[in-house]
Amino acid sequence: MLFNELGLSAELLRAIEEQGYQTATPIQQQAIPLILEGRDVLAGAQTGTGKTAGFTLPMLQRLQQGTVNRRRIRALVLVPTRELAAQVADSVRCYGQHLPFRAAVIYGGVSINTQIAKIRKGVDVVVATPGRLLDHLQQQTIDLTAVECLVLDEADRMLDMGFIRDIRKILNSLPRERQNLLFSATFSKEIRRLAADLLNSPTEISVATNGKPAEGIDQVVYPVDRQRKRALLSHTIGAQNWRQVLVFTRTKHGANRLATQLEADGLKSAAIHGNKSQAARVRALQEFKNGKVRVLVATDVAARGLDIERLPHVVNYELPHVAEDYVHRIGRTARAGHTGHAVSLVCVDEHGLLADIEKLLQTKIRTEVIPGYEPDRRIKAEAISTGRGGQRNSGNKKRWRNAGRANSSKKRATDNRRSAV
């Protein structure tokens, strides 16, 4: 279906055309008409499906059709991370470039005074992370009483990161009469509970099977000993002449260490994680996009919301503790209908984690042993450190896997929350 068949205004269609788009994605085809009708929507969509435009375009049109409210905040988009906030704000500005609306992005890691100054000048749309938005509410530097549309983007991630209390506090500052849009990659019991509290007779739409990655991703596992992972990674990047590679580690320290090691191997690299300043994160991402940095090493929190056009390669240097995070990681490639390549370097310690991922995907991932890097079968599995003072045995014993999740979940949510906002 073409965008000009969805009932969008001439100003929005002009902006869409200038971006080179003509055909709407499935989530856009389903969501845009419903949002234009003023319906509350519960939408299931993975990253890379075009969901940002799916709510941004109709949200702007409804503001366009409404009464101008003297630069009061009329739309609020809540997202889990700084990077996603910046991405959504860019989309609002891009698609709204021919409309008389102002947007502000609010997140931590930068001066709150600059944000206050912009809000005082008057904005129509605010894109924010929950933590910094609460700071503004507590300091009474923002007024949300005129909000007509609330969007929760990647709601599952916000709940996983421990934002639920912050979200409920923010909801108390909003008018009762408003349109609500909730986008989530999964529909867990917690998401259903939040939707029941938040949405008013919502229409539910879904364009992707829960736990399934986007189509067009070639997935492969390279078995390798843990001590030889870095050598294999450097060898693969060089031998296959990969020019742009996003690599995931479990911890911030691991990201820093790997980036330094890859630099020593002659590969221009940078690390991006929650302990980096926002300026450093933006600079690393920009250098990665323009080719100055060949390898970007990231943790899950920092990489959430990264939108890198035509990213060809994603590498799981270490498998994530939570299987769903694997889907989010590899979803950084094969976006907007493009193809991509996802490699996982798996040592004996991670066989249980791989089994969890394959169970979620309901399929076996292709395995390829690289000559010269065959794993030593004499090496025994060891417990995997969570990076937060805990350990997780990733063998086949369920009691170890469940204990690892339980011991780290609360701590992980707190650490993720601090890093993201």
223-251 tens-digit pLDDT: 999 999 999 999 999 999 999 999 999 99
**Does residue 191 sit in the same domain as residue 259?**
no
Give me the domain span that covers residue 350: 217-416
143 found inside a domain: yes
pLDDT at 354 over 50: yes
pLDDT at 421 over 70: no
CA angle 173, 177, 178 (to 5 degrees): 85
Rounded to an integer, the average pLDDT of 92-104 is 95
**3-state SS assignment for residue 392:** strand
**Does residue 193 sit in the same domain as residue 259?**
no
Backbone angles phi, psi at 223, to 5 degrees: -65, 135
**Does residue 227 sit in the same domain as residue 189?**
no
pLDDT cut 70: percent of the chain above it: 86
39 found inside a domain: yes
Q: Band of the pLDDT at 28, cuts 50, 70, 90?
A: very high
247 found inside a domain: yes
**Does residue 147 sit in the same domain as residue 87?**
yes
**Does residue 134 sit in the same domain as residue 101?**
yes
pLDDT at 404 over 70: no
Domain-ending residue, one of 206, 240, 274: 206
**Does residue 303 sit in the same domain as residue 407?**
yes
pTM: 0.68
Q: Band of the pLDDT at 70, cuts 50, 70, 90?
A: low
Q: Where are the beta strands (DSSP E) in 169-244?
A: 179-184, 203-206, 217-223
pLDDT in tens, 164-220: 999 999 999 999 999 999 998 878 888 899 999 999 999 999 875 455 666 789 999
Domain-ending residue, one of 206, 233, 255: 206
234 found inside a domain: yes
**Does residue 272 sit in the same domain as residue 319?**
yes
266 found inside a domain: yes
**Does residue 175 sit in the same domain as residue 37?**
yes
**Does residue 189 sit in the same domain as residue 295?**
no
Burial (CB count within 10 angstroms: exposed 0-12, middle 13-18, buried 19+), residue 361: middle
Backbone angles phi, psi at 372, to 5 degrees: 95, -10
Q: How far is CA 412 from the centre of its chain?
A: 16
Q: Domain of 398: which CATH number?
A: 3.40.50.300
pLDDT at 112 over 60: yes
Q: How many domains does the chain have?
A: 2
212 found inside a domain: no
**Does residue 188 sit in the same domain as residue 301?**
no
Q: What pLDDT sits at residue 109?
A: 85
**Does residue 89 sit in the same domain as residue 166?**
yes
* Rounded Cα gap, residues 300 and 382, in angstroms: 23
**Does residue 170 sit in the same domain as residue 225?**
no
Choose among 374, 368, 304: nearest CA to 342: 368
Strand partners, 367: 221
**3-state class percentages of the chain: helix first, strand second, coil last, to nearest 5:** 45, 15, 40
112 found inside a domain: yes
pLDDT at 420 over 60: no
pLDDT at 156 over 90: no
Choose among 230, 247, 232: nearest CA to 294: 247
Domain-ending residue, one of 153, 182, 206: 206
421 found inside a domain: no
